Amino acid sequence: MSPTRRAAAKPAAPRAAKPAAARRAEVERNTKETQIRVRVALDGRGQARLATGIGFFDHMLDQVARHGLVDLDIQARGDLHIDGHHLVEDVGITLGMAVAQAVGDKAGITRYGHAYVPLDEALSRVVVDFSGRPGLHMRVPFKAAMVGGFDTQLVYEFFQGFANHAMVTLHIDNLHGDNAHHQCETVFKAFARALRMALAVDPRAAGAVPSTKGSL
Ligand SMILES: [Mn+2]
């Protein structure tokens, strides 16, 4: 016990943390091909409410919520009687729009995120940069054309739509994998983990925008 303690000037109360603006958004996007509503909460708990009409796609979006610790509510209807192309691409676009809106001016975020995720023999790496410049670089040699009712070619369309509208640079590589379900799942899980890292508020950044330009 310090005898000077009582006499010491009362320390300034710790500055109350600025209440974080709620990082959430709701976007509705309707075309003649698809009708999509996305609600996202970036500081969520990984809860998902998903209805895209494609079971395996719901399973993948569930990974994004769970491993990204974002809450996702995605209700999508579309021309699945043709195929899944328009719907999967448009969910990527609408989710990208919602994430861009929820992240706002990006002040205080980590900006970069990366993750490796394995699932048995499969291993994927995803790197994301909230750069403000859309770009997708994807190398995933899927070992099957379809997983359940889901065309694996649509993974590219989903991430292209997401990258273009979230305004992020995305590098996606599947490094190993023999089973297409595993390959796909590691891609979505790694995407989720990378997203979580990039969106995390960095307490040392003290609310600064993580760019020497001052804006992203
Ligand atoms: Mn699975």
> How much distance in Å is there from the Cα of 79 to the middle of ligand 1?
25
Q: What is the DSSP letter of 208?
A: -
H or E stretch covering 10? none
Ranges of residues in the chain whose predicted pLDDT is under 50: 1-4, 13-19
Query: Considering the domain boundaries, does residue 214 fall inside one?
Result: no
Residue 1, pLDDT score: 45
Query: Considering the domain boundaries, does residue 4 fall inside one?
Result: no
> How much distance in Å is there from the Cα of 75 to the middle of ligand 1?
21
Q: Which amino acid is at 180?
A: A
170 φ/ψ angles, rounded to the nearest 5 degrees? -130, 125
> How much distance in Å is there from the Cα of 131 to the middle of ligand 1?
31
> How much distance in Å is there from the Cα of 26 to the middle of ligand 1?
27
Give the domain range for residue 190: 24-205
> How much distance in Å is there from the Cα of 64 to the middle of ligand 1?
12
Q: Is 97 strand, coil or helix? A: helix
> How much distance in Å is there from the Cα of 63 to the middle of ligand 1?
9
Distance CA 49, CA 61 (A): 9
Query: Considering the domain boundaries, does residue 180 fall inside one?
Result: yes
> How much distance in Å is there from the Cα of 55 to the middle of ligand 1?
11
Query: Considering the domain boundaries, does residue 6 fall inside one?
Result: no
Query: Considering the domain boundaries, does residue 54 fall inside one?
Result: yes
Residue 15, pLDDT score: 46
pTM over 0.85: yes
Please give the tally of structural domains in the chain. Answer: 1
Cβ 53 vs Cβ 83: under 8 Å = no
Query: Considering the domain boundaries, does residue 150 fall inside one?
Result: yes
Residue 182, pLDDT score: 98
β-bridge mates for residue 124, sequence order? 117, 174
**Nearest in space to 67 (alpha carbons), one of 87, 39, 52, 47:** 47
> How much distance in Å is there from the Cα of 67 to the middle of ligand 1?
13
> How much distance in Å is there from the Cα of 2 to the middle of ligand 1?
59
Distance CA 57, CA 79 (A): 15
> How much distance in Å is there from the Cα of 61 to the middle of ligand 1?
11
Query: Considering the domain boundaries, does residue 212 fall inside one?
Result: no
Residue 16, pLDDT score: 44
> How much distance in Å is there from the Cα of 60 to the middle of ligand 1?
8
Distance CA 26, CA 86 (A): 20
> How much distance in Å is there from the Cα of 181 to the middle of ligand 1?
6
> How much distance in Å is there from the Cα of 119 to the middle of ligand 1?
9
Whichever domain contains 107, its CATH number is 3.30.230.40
Q: Would you tell me how many other CB atoms lie within 10 Å of the CB of residue 201?
A: 14
Task: Give Cβ neighbours of residue 83 (< 8 Å, ≥ 6 apart).
Answer: 151
> How much distance in Å is there from the Cα of 182 to the middle of ligand 1?
7
Please state, in angstroms and as integers, the Cα–Cα distance from residue 194 to each residue in 7, 15, 84, 128, 139, following that order.
50, 31, 26, 6, 17
H or E stretch covering 7? none
Query: For strand 71-78 and strand 48-51, is the pairing parallel, antiparallel, or unpaired?
Result: parallel
> How much distance in Å is there from the Cα of 42 to the middle of ligand 1?
23
Query: Considering the domain boundaries, does residue 216 fall inside one?
Result: no
